[in-house]
């Protein structure tokens, strides 16, 4: 008579099945843990990116009255807008996009200038990048190279995209950024504030955060922010 039906025989036959079942469970746990780790890393990376994107640069302040020693020209019969820019910052291009939108709403005399900061580490040919060319295509915009950042420091600019707007008497009307986050375009408080001034002469917010690359060494930013808070 055959012994195939004995408990010992059945146990031996079931060993491969039990082994496969255990391996399947282990594989499932490995996949679950790997998926959980991936989601945690993805969430952490996304959170870090969002913090960076929506974290403005250090604050300082523009002079409340147009600096008499500035080489930039104040419009005698209208407003004067100046945007300070880093030549190789992706955020600069977004600021220029928003500036073009701003200027399309002007209904009164004004002048507008984009000042590109050239520090000692930049060669002259390095300044003529995509942002320089982009600024040149905006109607009504003048471009200038600010060697060693003299004018940027004079106006309290720390971050690329920092924009100031003065009236014809030299009174500061607005200072800040015209983008809502780093490198992003779309309706935002800074853009709407400048549009309101150029179109109606009215503004709800005269100061907004600036999202962009630093124009100078970070140590200088911290020092200047503490010495000259909000244009003091």
Strands laid side by side in the 79-85 sheet: 141-147, 110-118, 79-85, 162-166, 172-176
Q: Is the pLDDT of residue 182 over 90?
A: no
Q: How confident is the model at residue 220 (pLDDT cuts 50, 70, 90)?
A: very low
Higher pLDDT, 133 or 18: 133
Reported as a single tens digit per residue, the pLDDT across 34-77 is: 555 544 443 443 333 334 344 544 567 899 999 999 999 999 99
pLDDT at 126: 74
Domain edges within the chain: 1-53, 79-231
C-alpha 206/C-alpha 193 separation (Å) is: 7
Q: Across all residues in the chain, what is the average pLDDT? A: 78
C-alpha 81/C-alpha 94 separation (Å) is: 17
Fold of 79-231: Glutaredoxin (3.40.30)
Higher pLDDT, 229 or 180: 180
Q: Is the pLDDT of residue 4 over 80?
A: no
165-194 as b/e: b if 16+ CB within 10 A: bbbeeeebbbbbbbbbbbbebeebbbbbbb
User: Whole-model pTM?
Assistant: 0.71
pLDDT at 226: 46
């Amino acid at each position: 008579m055959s012994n195939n039906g004995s408990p010992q025989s059945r146990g031996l036959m079931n060993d491969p099945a039990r082994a496969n079942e255990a391996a399947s469970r282990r594989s499932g746990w490995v996949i679950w843990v790997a998926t959980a780790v991936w989601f945690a890393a993805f969430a952490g990376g996304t959170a870090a990116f969002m913090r960076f994107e929506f974290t403005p640069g250090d604050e300082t302040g523009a002079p409340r009255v147009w600096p008499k020693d500035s080489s930039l020209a104040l419009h005698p019969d209208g407003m004067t807008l100046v945007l300070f820019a880093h030549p190789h910052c992706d955020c600069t291009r977004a600021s220029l996009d928003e500036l073009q939108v701003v200027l399309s709403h002007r209904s009164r005399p004004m002048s507008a200038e984009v000042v590109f900061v050239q520090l000692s580490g930049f060669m002259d040919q390095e300044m003529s990048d995509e942002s320089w060319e982009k600024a040149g295509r905006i109607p009504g915009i003048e471009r200038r190279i600010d060697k060693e950042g003299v004018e940027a420091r004079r106006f309290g600019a720390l971050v690329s995209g920092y924009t100031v707007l003065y009236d014809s008497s030299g009174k500061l009307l607005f200072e800040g950024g015209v983008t809502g986050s780093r490198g992003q375009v779309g309706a935002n408080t800074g853009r709407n504030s400048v549009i309101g001034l150029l179109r109606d002469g009215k503004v709800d917010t005269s100061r907004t955060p600036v999202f962009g690359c630093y124009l100078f060494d970070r140590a200088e930013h911290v020092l200047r922010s503490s010495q000259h808070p909000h244009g003091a």
